[in-house]
Structure 1
Amino acid sequence: MQKTSFKGKVILGIEHTEYNDRQITIHNNSTPNTIYTLVIQSGTLKDIHGQTLEHDHSEQPIQFHVHDSPPLLDDISGAT
């Protein structure tokens, strides 16, 4: 799992599961009712075996909302 800290306030972890190669899980400790934009840069996201995941090169941002009631379990859809 990768973890990133933004200005020391938010810890964001992205987990790619072995049994479902089309799903990622995002863990964070952010404030409820916050909207983030996730941009996946071409060639930077790798699977659990270290292979670069295919990308459509559009690099369109994906917006997701952190709801007030944890745990958040939802789908993020977009061209990846």
Structure 2
Amino acid sequence: VPPSLESEVAPPPGVDPARLALLASLAATEAHRLLADALSSGLGRRDVGPEPTVAQDAVRLAAGDPGPDALGRLGEGSGRT
């Protein structure tokens, strides 16, 4: 049984559980896409391309509709305001 994200303990300051759940969901979706692509190609290991830049990753995360507060933090953290 996977661990539950529910807890009686309050999150530490600065941690937004809803945004963290969104980030986990986006990461799982991308991992699933990469795995499905790798398995369907029949080529075994192959290059998935370069790591995204900070700006590219911020755009990817923003596309998940994280909400206005998170959008502001993404813009700030990636040098876009």
Question: Quick one: higher RCO (CA 8 Å, sep 6+), 1 or 2?
Answer: 2
More strand by share: 1
Whichever of the two has the greater Rg, that structure is 2
More helix by share: 2
TM-score by length of 1: 0.27
